[in-house]
């Protein structure tokens, strides 16, 4: 039936046989109804029936590796060891008669700052990751018994030694375990170690500012090579 201009193209007559689609691989010739129906059935087949059968005994899934494990912790702590060596050099620039002064208004004295930094932050949190609970020492009682700069330096050495011993005992399990804190909330061991770094550099920056206010010139913060020998970078072993 011919199409009339301006009118819609008429559809096939009732009972007429529909032509099969052309197959370009056959030079445009018809695929035939049998091939067309076969292709339609294949397309309608759910994909799960086309997948290979699952294994009777699939291999066990590996547990995901923690984002921060013991190996990474030890590498980070080794860097922290060098950072501690830098802090000792900055603390050495604080005059002995000014450890109780307030070089910056409304901020801690150098002694108060160091006791908080090396008592609560470095020592108590690190030991808490090992034991599962942070037990912060009373800063007021500690400050009362530290009379001189020599007392303060001994406190720093003792606190670092305790923290370094605890850091070496931290396991993968301890890093992933929840640690109780005296601040009203618990946190994983990995977060505790992150808190140490954040708090440490925050407060050490204050110590740098104190020294400058006192007329000193603190060393460049990455000058690890001039630390005391035990706090210098270790030589890397090559295979």
CB-based contacts of 62-69 (< 8 A; 24+ apart in sequence)? 66/172, 66/175, 66/176, 66/190, 67/190, 68/175, 68/190, 68/193, 69/172, 69/175
Alpha-carbon gap, residue 236 to 66, rounded angstroms = 25
Give 139-175 as a 3 state SS string: HHHHHHHCCCHHHHHHHHHHHHHHHHHHHHHCCHHHH
Q: Tell the residue number behind the tokens 């601040």, with chain if given.
A: 183
Structure tokens at 21: 């689609």
CB 140 within 8 A of CB 100: no
CA dist 175 to 4, 12, 68, 83, 201, Å? 82, 75, 8, 22, 21
226 is in an annotated binding site: no
203 is in an annotated binding site: yes
Question: Nearest to residue 68, comparing CAs of 168, 162, 171, 166?
Answer: 171
Residue spans of beta strands (DSSP E) within 98-232 = 178-179, 187-188
Helix and strand numbers, DSSP H then E, in the chain: 8, 2
Binding residues for a divalent metal cation: 116, 203
């Amino acid at each position: 039936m011919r199409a009339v201009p301006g009118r819609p193209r008429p559809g096939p007559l009732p009972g007429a046989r529909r032509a099969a689609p052309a197959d370009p691989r056959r030079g445009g010739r018809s695929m035939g109804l049998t091939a067309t129906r076969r292709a339609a059935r294949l397309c309608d087949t759910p994909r799960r029936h086309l997948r290979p059968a699952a294994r009777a005994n699939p291999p066990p899934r590996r547990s995901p590796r923690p984002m921060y494990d013991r190996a990474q912790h030890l590498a980070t702590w080794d860097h922290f060891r060098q950072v501690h060596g830098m802090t000792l050099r900055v603390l050495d620039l604080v005059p002995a008669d000014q450890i109780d002064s307030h070089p910056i208004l409304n901020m801690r004295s150098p002694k108060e700052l160091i006791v908080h930094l090396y008592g609560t932050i470095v020592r108590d949190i690190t030991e808490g990751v090992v034991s599962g609970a942070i037990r912060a020492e009373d800063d007021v009682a500690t400050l009362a018994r530290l009379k001189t700069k020599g007392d303060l330096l001994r406190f720093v050495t003792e606190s670092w030694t305790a923290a370094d011993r605890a850091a070496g005992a931290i396991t993968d399990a301890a890093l992933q375990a929840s640690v109780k804190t005296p601040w009203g909330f618990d946190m994983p061991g990995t977060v505790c170690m992150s808190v140490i770094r954040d708090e440490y550099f925050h407060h050490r920056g204050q110590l740098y500012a104190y020294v400058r206010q006192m007329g000193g010139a603190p060393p460049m913060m990455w000058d690890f090579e001039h630390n005391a020998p035990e706090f210098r970078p270790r030589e890397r072993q090559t295979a």
